[in-house]
A and B are shown apart, each in its own frame.
Chain A
C-alpha cells in the first residue's frame, strides 16, 4: 500500500560509477519530483515531471538525468558519481503540480553514499 516508494533505500558506491534510483507512486498523481537533502538537512528541488513532461529543471549537473516512462514512475540516473553527490534523495508526487495549493507527498528517501 505504500503511496510513494523508492528503491533502493541505501546505495553505497564508488566514485566514478553510474547508478539509478527508482521511484513509483500509486496515488494516481500527475506530477513527480526529485529532491536532494544534504548533510545539513537542507532540501532542494532538482526536477519535476508533469505527465511525463519535464517542468522543473533546477541548476543540477548534467550527470543527473531524470526519466519518466509513465506518470507513475520517475527514475533518477546519475553518471560519474562524485563525493559531493552523497546525500538523501527524495522522490515526491502531487495530484496536479500546477497550483500553489498542491500538496506533495514524499517517498522514504534513498541514502546515497559515494566512497
Chain B
C-alpha cells in the first residue's frame, strides 16, 4: 500500500517570504506520480504541480516548485514570494502505476497555510 504523510497540520508565513510544506511518501512501486493540490476556504480543489518518479529535474510551475528527494522519499512543495491568496489547505497526493493496486490517488491529511500581511 502507498502512504502519504504531511507532518505539519498548520504553517504560518509572512507575505512575500518563501515557505516549504513537507510531504513524505512510502511506496514499493518503482513508478509513481506525486501531486500537490490547493484547497482554499471556498472549498474547490486546485491542481498545482506534478512530479514523476523518473523525472530528473524538480517540477516548477510559476511560484510553485517541488523539491523532490527520491532517496528520502520526500516531495516538499516550495511556494516563493507568498501572497495573501496562498492561504489555504495544501494536500500532497501520490498515485502508483496503472494495473497495480496503488493506481488510485492517495492523499495526505493536508497542511493549513496562513499567510500573514
Residues of A within 8 A of B (CB): 33, 40-45, 48, 56, 58, 88, 90, 92, 98-109, 111
A90 touches B33 (CB 8 A): no
Once bound together, how far apart are the Cα atoms of A102 and B95, in whole Å? 9
In the bound complex, residues from chain B placing their C-beta under 8 Å from that of A40 are 109
Q: Does the CB pair A43–B44 fall under 8 Å? A: no
Contact B44 A106 (CB under 8 A): yes
Q: Can you list 17 A-B contacts with CB-CB less than 8 angstroms, sorted by A residue number?
A: A33-B105, A41-B89, A41-B110, A44-B107, A45-B105, A48-B104, A88-B43, A92-B45, A98-B98, A100-B29, A100-B31, A100-B33, A100-B52, A100-B53, A100-B95, A100-B98, A109-B45
B68 at the binding interface (Cβ < 8 Å):
no
State the total of A-B contacts with C-beta under 8 angstroms: 62
Q: Tell me the chain B residues, 68-114 only, with Cβ under 8 Å from chain A.
A: 89, 91, 95-99, 103-107, 109-110
Q: Does B25 contact A (CB under 8 A)?
A: no
With contacts A100-B33, A101-B50, A103-B35 taken as known, whether A109 is within 8 angstroms of B109 at the C-beta atoms is no
Contact of A108 with B96 in the complex, beta carbons under 8 Å: no
Q: Cβ of B47 < 8 Å from any Cβ of A?
A: yes
Q: Give the residues in chain A near B95, CB-CB below 8 Å.
A: 100, 102
Contacts of A100 in B (CB 8 A): 29, 31-33, 52-53, 95-98, 103
B45 lies within 8 A of A42 (CB): no
Chain A nearest CB: distance from B70 CB in Å?
14
> What is the CA–CA distance of A41 and B96 in the complex, to the nearest angstrom?
22
